[in-house]
Amino acid sequence: MTRSQLVDQIFDKRSYLTVGLDTDLEKIPPHLLSEPDPAFAFNKAIIDATRDHCVSYKINTAFYEAMGVKGWETLEKTVRYIGTDHFTIADAKRGDIGNTSTQYAKAFFEALPFDSITVAPYMGEDSVKPFLQYPGKWAIVLGLTSNAGARDFELQPSGDQLLYERVLEKVSKWGTPENLMFVVGATQSDAFINIREICPDHFFLVPGVGAQGGSLKEISEKAMTKDCGLLVNASRAVIYASSGTDFAIKAKEAAKAYSDEMAIYLP
């Protein structure tokens, strides 16, 4: 999906919501466990319930890798079921030497039809570049994350900058706003103004709204651009809004509540 197509989706739906499919068999409604593929049955119902209120789905691959071969089959069925009308994110946090990253890119952009993949930039430019060679595909590079461990490296001084600032400044030159996004955690809202100054045109994928306590209002006020420039992810707050047979209905209500609020902040 190109940037212009993504922006059109955002303004057509008046939403910049990403629904995170962090599907855990220990958390899905018990009545689904008798299904041939419980995780896919859950995902399918969530997608059907939320697709009108979001522009994107983020599949955290760890939850599927943990199920072995069957989990990979579920992952592939899920991304193909989403289709091409929504921006799809493989939250895989890959990044390795160039020839290995090339294979990761083939896995998620050729064997699987994802629009984007999250990437760790620690190994440098050659570990990120292979993900930027596909027209209409995106690398979403870790910028400033919302976990406590961000203090260990990302928030440490690096010359006259913090390390995450140096990463954003450097990585932004490896691609363009047409194929490169950054992960910026919602719980780091105080940093959004500064980050937007460093990367004025790039989209940000923002996890941490909802269960982690990030403020949608603060993020939108501090980081939104004229073409939005934000994909705000909600996972547990949407997909686990209920553990009963009404789980899809409650997920739809939660997604709609987010998109209704987002419509207020959009230009």
Average confidence (pLDDT) over 46-72: 98
Proportion of the chain above pLDDT 90, given as a percent: 92
Are 181 and 205 a contacting pair, CB within 8 Å? Answer: yes
188 pLDDT above the threshold of 80: no
Work out the pLDDT band at 247, boundaries 50, 70, 90. Answer: very high
Q: Which region among 9-18, 35-44, 75-84, 211-220 has the lowest average model confidence (pLDDT)?
A: 211-220
Helices 216-223 + 247-265 axis angle, to 10 = 40
Q: How many CB atoms lie within 10 A of CB 190?
A: 9
Phi, psi of 178, deg, nearest 5: -90, -15
Least confident range from 22-26, 39-43, 89-93, 147-151: namely: 147-151
Q: What is the pLDDT of residue 153?
A: 92
* pLDDT score at 38: 98
Question: CA-to-CA distance for 50 and 234, rounded, in angstroms?
Answer: 12
Portion of the chain with pLDDT greater than 70, in percent: 99
DSSP reduced 3-state for 184: strand
Q: What is the pLDDT of residues 234-246, one digit of tens each?
A: 999 999 999 999 9
Task: Please check the confidence at residue 33 and state whether its pLDDT lies above 70.
Answer: yes
pLDDT of res. 212: 61
Q: What is the DSSP string of 35-80?
A: SSSHHHHHHHHHHHHHTTT-SEEEEETHHHHTTTHHHHHHHHHHHH
**Whether pLDDT at 263 is above 90:** yes
**Which domains, ranges and CATH numbers included, belong to the chain?**
3-265 (3.20.20.70)
The pLDDT tens digits of the residues spanning 66-103 come to 999 999 999 999 999 999 999 999 999 999 999 999 99
Query: Mean pLDDT over all residues of the chain?
Result: 95
pTM, two decimals, is 0.96
Residue 140 has pLDDT above 70, yes or no: yes
Q: Which of 93, 129, 222, 250 is catalytic?
A: 93
Q: What is the pLDDT of residue 147?
A: 87
* Whether pLDDT at 196 is above 70: yes
Q: Strand locations in the chain, DSSP E?
A: 17-20, 56-60, 87-94, 116-119, 138-144, 157-158, 161-162, 180-184, 203-206, 230-234
Tokens at residue 82, please?
């989403």
pLDDT at position 174 is 97
93 is catalytic: yes
Instruction: Check if the beta carbon of residue 185 is closer than 8 Å to that of residue 206.
Output: yes
pLDDT confidence of residue 137: 98
